[in-house]
């Protein structure tokens, strides 16, 4: 849909449904954001006219100046068809309808929803919603009707998020901001009356600055499931598509119908189709974060499931081994020759106490140089497809520069490397050292293993279709 590009980067906007008496109404919140935070020419619309935030209010879209590229509609549902028709007659081709009261409330609302879809199609309008919180593009556009001070906003990045749930989307933005994972855009599609998840996947699939597409889906309308997987078949070879699907339990299925009137569909069929067409399905929000973060670093493919692990704590190595087995990743044992190759590059004083079976326990005496040298050797082994670094910076020989130093070793090899570093402020320099140099860092051992699992799953798909 050509209107999506304009919608996500409009030159001028209008908000239909501002109030001259209630500064906290959804329309007023949206207006203030667009006009004052995004610095976009934005025109408030209300049939009563008046003044809002010192700006004259137009009595209709028709009376507003020309050149508006995006209209946000926040009026009672019964008025939406008339407003949408005015938008079409005005030549506005991108519209976000945040109003509720459509198919999610029953037959009457469903009829109203069908009507606005017909109007949008008649005038060539690209419409998001209704019953949504809108769209957010860092530093460009924010149509969310939630006050800025109450919702975290991630920095600009390369992850695009599409969600059928506004609440779920807001929580992800909080998490992405906390974890310093940047996003390219966040889209709340609500009832997805006209513009569907697959439309946005196709759009972001062609966007150069988007490297990962993440979607929360509760269900599909008639025929939409097929269009979704066909779109993913087209896009997944180019960039990862990660999906969390709600409504998998009986209770969840009922909840999706009352939330956005979606049909949850046959879960077994959906999962099989996802696998076939390269969709990486997350089982929970932890995997969502792990996969989104890992792929935002454009990791190198894994030829197989074999992982070499370095740690300074035997216990952490055991935990990692257990987690890896759950995901089908394996820690192959190293031969005596391989062990000696790694032992020889260790600091001589600690060669006798380190273990190199896999996981390799370099002990608390290990230093930056030990991690660098052992990793360099381990990544040369043919029976290793990736490396997992369990980095506990408590060891006295490890400096705050270890992240950058080890990452630069990893750059010289064509194998995936993922690290775990405790998410503590005092280790921020280490974490940034890794991430600035392209190595994703998990907050927990489980998350680091999940990252490897996501990378491996995508690699298997790309191998199957002959891309790598």
**Tens digits of residue pLDDT in 375-395:** 999 999 999 999 999 998 888
Residue 150: per-residue pLDDT: 85
The DSSP element (H or E) to which 104 belongs, if any, is none
Can you state the percent helix, strand and coil of the chain, rounding each to 5?
Answer: 40, 20, 40
The angle at the Cα of 88, spanning 87 to 94, to the nearest 5 degrees, equals: 70
Q: Which residues pair with 418 in a beta bridge?
A: 388
Read off the tokens for 109.
């609302």
pTM, two decimals, is: 0.93
- As a whole number of angstroms, the distance between CA 423 and CA 443 comes to 5
Cβ atoms of residues 143 and 96 within 8 Å: yes
Cβ atoms of residues 129 and 191 within 8 Å: yes
Q: Which residues pair with 192 in a beta bridge?
A: none
- Which numeric CATH code is attached to 307-464? 3.40.50.261
DSSP string, 59-95: SSTTTSPS---EEEE-S-GGGHHHHHHHHHHHT--EE
Residue 100: per-residue pLDDT: 95
Residue 421: per-residue pLDDT: 96
Residue 264: per-residue pLDDT: 47
67 φψ region: left (φ > 0), alpha (ψ -120 to 50), beta (else): left
- The reply to whether domains 1-130 and 307-464 share a CATH topology is yes
Mean pLDDT by 10 residues, the chain (468 residues): 90 97 96 97 97 97 97 98 98 97 93 97 97 96 91 94 96 95 97 96 97 94 91 96 78 44 61 92 96 98 97 94 96 97 96 96 94 98 98 89 97 97 94 97 97 98 93
The fold of the 1-130 domain, in CATH, is Rossmann fold (3.40.50)
Question: From start to end of 194-350, where are the E strands?
Answer: 212-217, 241-245, 279-282, 307-311
Residue 257: per-residue pLDDT: 46
Residue 247: per-residue pLDDT: 61
The DSSP element (H or E) to which 262 belongs, if any, is none
Cβ atoms of residues 316 and 392 within 8 Å: yes
Domain boundaries, the chain: 1-130, 152-296, 307-464
The angle at the Cα of 160, spanning 154 to 164, to the nearest 5 degrees, equals: 100
Residue 122: per-residue pLDDT: 98
Length of the chain: 468
- As a whole number of angstroms, the distance between CA 38 and CA 33 comes to 6
Read off the tokens for 86.
């005015």
Residue 310, C-beta contacts closer than 8 angstroms, at least 6 positions apart: 359, 360, 362, 371, 374, 375, 378, 387, 388, 389, 390
**Closest among 325, 355, 323, 328 to 342, alpha carbons compared:** 355
Angle between helical axes of 285-295 and 445-464 (0-180°, round to 10)? 70
Residue 262: per-residue pLDDT: 45
- As a whole number of angstroms, the distance between CA 443 and CA 331 comes to 21
- Which numeric CATH code is attached to 152-296? 3.40.50.261
DSSP string, 404-457: HHHHHHHTTSSSEEEEE----GGGHHHHHHHHHTT--EESSHHHHHHHHHHHHH
Q: Tell me, rounded to whole angstroms, the distance of Cα 161 from its chain centroid.
A: 5
Note the maximum CA span of the chain: 83
Read off the tokens for 451.
């990252």
**Closest among 310, 233, 333, 246 to 275, alpha carbons compared:** 233
């Amino acid at each position: 849909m050509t209107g999506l590009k304009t919608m996500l980067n409009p030159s001028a906007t209008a908000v239909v449904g501002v109030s001259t008496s209630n500064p906290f109404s959804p329309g007023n919140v949206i207006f203030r954001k667009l006009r004052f935070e995004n610095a976009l020419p934005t025109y408030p619309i209300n049939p009563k006219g008046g003044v809002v935030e010192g700006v004259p209010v137009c009595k209709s879209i028709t009376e507003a100046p020309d050149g508006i590229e995006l209209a946000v509609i926040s009026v009672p549902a019964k008025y939406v068809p008339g407003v949408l028709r005015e938008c079409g007659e005005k030549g506005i081709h991108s519209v976000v309808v945040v109003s509720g009261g459509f198919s999610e409330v029953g037959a009457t609302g469903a009829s109203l929803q069908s009507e606005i879809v017909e109007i949008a199609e008649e005038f060539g309008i690209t419409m998001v919603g209704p019953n949504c919180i809108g769209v957010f593009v860092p530093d460009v556009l924010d149509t969310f009707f939630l006050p800025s001070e109450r919702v975290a906003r991630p920095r600009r990045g390369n992850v695009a998020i599409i969600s059928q749930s506004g609440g779920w989307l807001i929580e992800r933005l909080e998490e992405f901001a906390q974890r310093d994972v940047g996003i390219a855009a966040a889209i709340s599609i609500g009832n997805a009356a006209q513009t569907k998840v697959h439309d946005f996947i196709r759009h972001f699939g062609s966007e150069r600055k988007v490297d990962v597409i993440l979607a929360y889906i509760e269900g599909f309308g008639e025929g939409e499931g097929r269009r979704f997987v066909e779109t993913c078949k087209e896009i997944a070879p180019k960039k990862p598509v990660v999906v969390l699907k709600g409504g998998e339990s009986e209770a969840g299925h009922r909840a999706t119908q009352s939330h956005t009137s979606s049909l949850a569909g046959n879960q077994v069929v959906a999962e099989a189709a996802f696998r076939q067409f390269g969709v990486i399905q997350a089982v929970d929000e932890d995997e969502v974060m792990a996969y989104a973060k890992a792929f935002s670093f454009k990791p190198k493919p894994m030829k197989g499931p074999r992982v070499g692990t370095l740690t300074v704590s035997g216990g952490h190595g055991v935990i990692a081994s257990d987690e890896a087995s759950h995901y089908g990743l394996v820690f192959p044992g190293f031969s005596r020759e391989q062990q000696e190759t790694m032992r020889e590059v260790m600091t001589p004083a600690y060669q006798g106490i380190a273990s190199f079976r896999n996981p390799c326990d370099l002990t608390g005496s290990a230093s930056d140089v030990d991690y660098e040298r052992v990793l360099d050797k381990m990544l040369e082994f043919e029976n290793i497809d990736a490396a997992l670094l369990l980095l506990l910076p408590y060891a006295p020989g490890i400096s705050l520069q270890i992240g950058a130093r080890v990452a630069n070793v990893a750059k010289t090899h064509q194998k995936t490397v993922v690290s775990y570093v405790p998410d503590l402020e005092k280790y921020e320099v280490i974490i940034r050292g890794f991430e600035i140099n392209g190595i994703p860092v998990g907050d927990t051992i489980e998350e680091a293993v999940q990252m490897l699992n996501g990378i491996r799953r995508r690699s298997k798909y790309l191998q199957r279709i002959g891309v790598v």
